[in-house]
Structure 1
Amino acid sequence: TSTGYIFHELYMWHDQGAMASVRNSVQPTPHWETPESKRRIHNLLSVSGVLDQLTLLRPRAATLEECERVHDRSYLEMLQRCSNDDTKGHHVVGEEAVIAPGGFDVALLSAGGCLAALDAVMRGTVRNAYCLVRPPGHHAERAAAMGFCYINNIAVVAAAAKAAHGLSRVAIVDWDVHHGNGTHHMFDDDPSVLFVSIHQDGNYPARSGA
């Protein structure tokens, strides 16, 4: 068996908006969570020939029921309403989190892509998998978007590993400059999930993960 790979062009279409507003007399700049970094990774895998050695897996959209294992239903419905509102360009849905029309659909596809990778590993189709998805998820809390994260992808996967695949224990290693606060809080009292966050002290969120 080989390594599975999750990617979809719609991940690149997720719109995080600009970092500033002209109404505040600040020149708008592109958001640092842009599709270009992910697209460069995908293109490098393709040009280098590594992509030919991977097993391409088809992502799917996560269901609300799958996301409800770690998120409140009312929170998910709020994201869905804002995402379906075409009358406004972007909705502020949390700290450092705005959602554009259609953004919730892409977030579901991001979480669902990770679930598709889990299913492939558990079936033995692949030995392991890499998911090049966006939007990211580890800052998303049970009932709050944060840090350009809306659905906590890895938390959804960990919950599915236990509920749908019967695993008794799950380990999550979060390696990022930021503390994975959302994932941490979701499993803080769950002895069946080991969560390890390797991050820069004092970065983001403030006073988190020390």
Structure 2
Amino acid sequence: MTTLLITHPTSLLHLTPAGHPERPDRLRAVERALEDERFASLIRLEAPLGTFEQTAFCHSPAHLQAVLAAAPKEGLAHLDADTTMSPGTLEAALRGVGGAVLAVDEVMSGRARSAFVATRPPGHHAERERAMGFCFFNHAAIAARHARQIHGAERVAIVDWDVHHGNGTQDIFWDDASVLYASTHEMPLYPGTGAPSERGIHGNIVNVALAPGDGSDEFRDAFEIGILPRLAAFQPELVIVSAGFDAHWRDPLADINLREADFAWATRKLMEIAERHAGNRIVSVLEGGYDLDGLAKSAAAHVAALMGA
């Protein structure tokens, strides 16, 4: 069974202001790391252009219209203090949608066991009605709804280990018992959501907060005690990973001290869940990670684990 790498050159055309942490060099760093010979067996596909119908799985028509209206023909348009659009942003964001959907199609059909979607901008802060936190469309959430509505999956789990809480994913699935959203993240930190008391209407939201300065032991405990038992009880038919790598010790935007080995360990734990309950089906989408070296090495460790290496 194969592992897919899905990306697209237009991901580099989403431009941000000078000094902005979410920059094209992030994706270049990941791509260089995955050019190593140990990744030669990856099946590499280009992300198709996502459709407006696919964004509507998770976002309101008003949100789509707002993003379309903000897209500039030249220069940069600021949606908020952190989130900007350039002329290439809309296509880049829609390639992220299309890549996540393609990954689900390939994995749910059995043509691949796992997939890593390396596109930018990221997605997990995008709420049903709002773009924010560098994010425009919520790729992981759209992937989950696509698995439900197109492939008939009854239960989908999204596990988010980005150091920032995925408020957008939580917002979208707050009242949807068919999707379990489990997140480990630093608190207090942007965007200010993700308290353990935030559980969703059906108890399908699992938030395990880490404190500034926490490292490998606390992260692994969060998984072992807070997240993995809930996943096992939920018995998902597909596991989706919001794979942010900004909990790495080198990252400038947070204060969690993970190493590459922690991301590989967490990947293998989720693969065990997928093997037991989901026919080995696991889809991962790139979220944050803003130190280029830490991002590249962590993504490589994650993909190597997906490949069983």
TM (norm. structure 1) is: 0.88
Aligned to 1:101: 87
Distance 2:153 2:121 in 1: 26
Contact 2:14 2:87 in 1 (8 A): no
1:168 aligned counterpart, secondary structure = coil
Which of 115, 124, 127 is matched with 2:101 structurally? Answer: 115
Q: Relative contact order, CA 8 A, sep 6+: which one is greater?
A: 1
Aligned to 1:171: 157
The answer to whether the aligner puts 1:8 opposite 2:8 as a matched pair is yes
Which of 55, 64, 67 is matched with 2:55 structurally? Answer: 67
Aligned residues: 195
Aligned to 2:67: 79
Contact 1:138 1:182 in 2 (8 A): yes
Aligned to 1:41: 30
- CA drift at 1:156: 0.6
1:4-45 deviations in Å (ceiling 9; x for gaps): 111112112211223xxxxxxxxxxx2111121221121121
The answer to whether the aligner puts 1:209 opposite 2:194 as a matched pair is yes
Amino acid of the structure 2 residue aligned with 1:76: L
Aligned to 1:24: none
Aligned to 1:53: 41
Q: Which runs of 5+ in 1 are unaligned?
A: 19-29
What is the RMSD of the two structures over their aligned residues, measured on CA atoms? 1.3
- CA drift at 1:170: 0.3
Contact 1:140 1:150 in 2 (8 A): yes
The answer to whether the aligner puts 1:161 opposite 2:147 as a matched pair is yes
1:159 aligned counterpart, secondary structure = helix
- CA drift at 1:95: 5.1
Distance 1:49 1:43 in 2: 11
Distance 1:135 1:173 in 2: 19
TM (norm. structure 2) is: 0.61
Amino acid of the structure 2 residue aligned with 1:33: E
The answer to whether the aligner puts 1:199 opposite 2:185 as a matched pair is yes
Q: Which runs of 5+ in 2 are unaligned?
A: 196-309
